[in-house]
A = this chain, B = another copy of it.
Amino acid sequence: MQYSKQKLSEEKVFKDPVHRYIHVRDQVIWDLIGTKEFQRLRRIKQLGTTYLTFHGAEHSRFNHSLGVYEIIRRIVDDVFEGRPEWNDDERLLSLCAALLHDLGHGPFSHSFEKVFHLDHEHFTQQIILGDTEVNGVLMKVHKSFPKKVAEVIAKTYENKLVVSLISSQIDADRMDYLQRDAYFTGVSYGHFDMERILRVMRPREDQVVIKYSGMHAVEDYIMSRYQMYWQIYFHPVTRSAEVILTKILHRAKDLYHTGYKFKHEPIHFYSLFKEQVTLEDYLKLDEAVIMFYFQIWQEEEDPILRDLSERFMNRNLFKYAEFDPAKEYKKHSELEALFKKAGIDPEYYLVVDSSSDLPYDFYRPGEEEERLPIHLLMKNQELRELSRESDVVDSISGKRRTDHKLYYPADLLFDDSTKRNTKKQIRSILELS
């Protein structure tokens, strides 16, 4: 039998706390889950450093990837199947793209991408198209299949309906992570009636649309997303851990380029430092490897690398203050000067971090990132953009919210054994008592 049609002799199920069970019938999906590139996602946390704020948030990207797959499976098997607008030949492609959409994520992606100029989407493409077990499985479907999967994930696939299932303002990715992250952190945000949303999804030529009767469930989803961003994803304590993490990588890279001699050779980092990371190098990176180095860097000679590593390992984080970069640049300069005077390198210890989110937007052609709006399918079969029907969504639509904070090591500033007066001045500016 054709590999793409092969079913397991008995359905396999994964017990999942969010979707109860994840069901696998397709041999292709089963084989993909078994590849080492996919298993690697078990060693990368879904929410990076968030576990230092919400201790339950220790779940991996493996978890989330199965969840996205399951949502798509329910849509295509329970809702779309048999509808004229849906081409069932796209079923397996949709399932594979769902399962593999985050495959290129590395450990603590955000910080690594920033410091080492990586791009996880680039690696997702490479893993799917390169010499990997995943590619081997996909090739067995058809030699053109890996390319198609890669295109869906890159949003360049011609059938935009399939693309919008995986990536849009109401896609399976978001629906899974909002619920999953809420479940593992334990917060009460993040609940919305996904079952209802799935039931009112309808395939259209170039997008998934939502029957009008499901508008309130979608409003609830948009509000969940909004709350999760500001309550969980941009939590200032998480950002503090992220700041420290970024500065550790930064410091290690700087030391390398200035010829510093590490006690224990950071062999896994060399290609990162040189910014010449091959696929093979990349696939060896996971959080265990990174944490291993942070562990041993606690014993490095360099005081900054050592201190920052200790902070991260022992959760001795930076404190923060509100900061307005537009108005307070002078204050910032002043603080920089005082930090230097106090012997605390502001490059590593006085950090402005900004978070910004656009909770929902309609289509604005020509904008940097053109966002596909959510369309409601009205009773008369017309489509209406969501924010035109929903007051609540309209109220937050297109409104970017940004938050700036200034991070600093309060413990050092209160250590009066040296530079007492300078530190007192700093504390006074930061209004620390």
Report the bound CA distance from A396 to B223 in whole Å.
Answer: 13
Question: Which residue of B18, B313, B392, B399 is within 8 Å of A226 (Cβ)?
Answer: B392
Interface residues on A, range: 35 or more
How many whole Å from A347's CB to the nearest CB in chain B? 26
Contact between B289 and A295 (Cβ–Cβ < 8 Å)?
yes
Contact between B16 and A223 (Cβ–Cβ < 8 Å)?
no
How many whole Å from A417's CB to the nearest CB in chain B? 19
If A35-B314, A42-B52 are given as contacts, then 18 extra A-B residue pairs at C-beta distance below 8 Å, sorted by A number, are A13-B199, A15-B54, A15-B55, A16-B186, A17-B186, A42-B315, A51-B60, A58-B63, A188-B193, A216-B231, A223-B392, A284-B295, A286-B291, A288-B288, A288-B291, A289-B295, A292-B292, A395-B395
How many whole Å from A41's CB to the nearest CB in chain B? 10
Question: Which residue of B62, B188, B287 is within 8 Å of A220 (Cβ)?
Answer: B188
Residues of B contacting A276 in the complex (Cβ-Cβ under 8 angstroms): none
Contact between A220 and B216 (Cβ–Cβ < 8 Å)?
no
Q: Which of A55, A62, A187, A231 is packed against the most chain B CB atoms within 10 Å? A: A55
Residue on B nearest A291 in the bound complex, by CB: B288
Contact between B191 and A187 (Cβ–Cβ < 8 Å)?
no
Decide if A56 is an interface residue (CB 8 Å cutoff).
yes
**What does the 1/0 interface line of A27-58 toward B look like (CB < 8 Å)?**
00000001110010011000000011011101
Question: Which residue of B39, B52, B230, B316 is within 8 Å of A313 (Cβ)?
Answer: B39
Decide if A183 is an interface residue (CB 8 Å cutoff).
yes
Residues of B contacting A14 in the complex (Cβ-Cβ under 8 angstroms): 55
Q: Tell me the residues in window 274-296 of chain A with beta carbons closer than 8 Å to chain B beta carbons.
A: 284, 286-292, 295
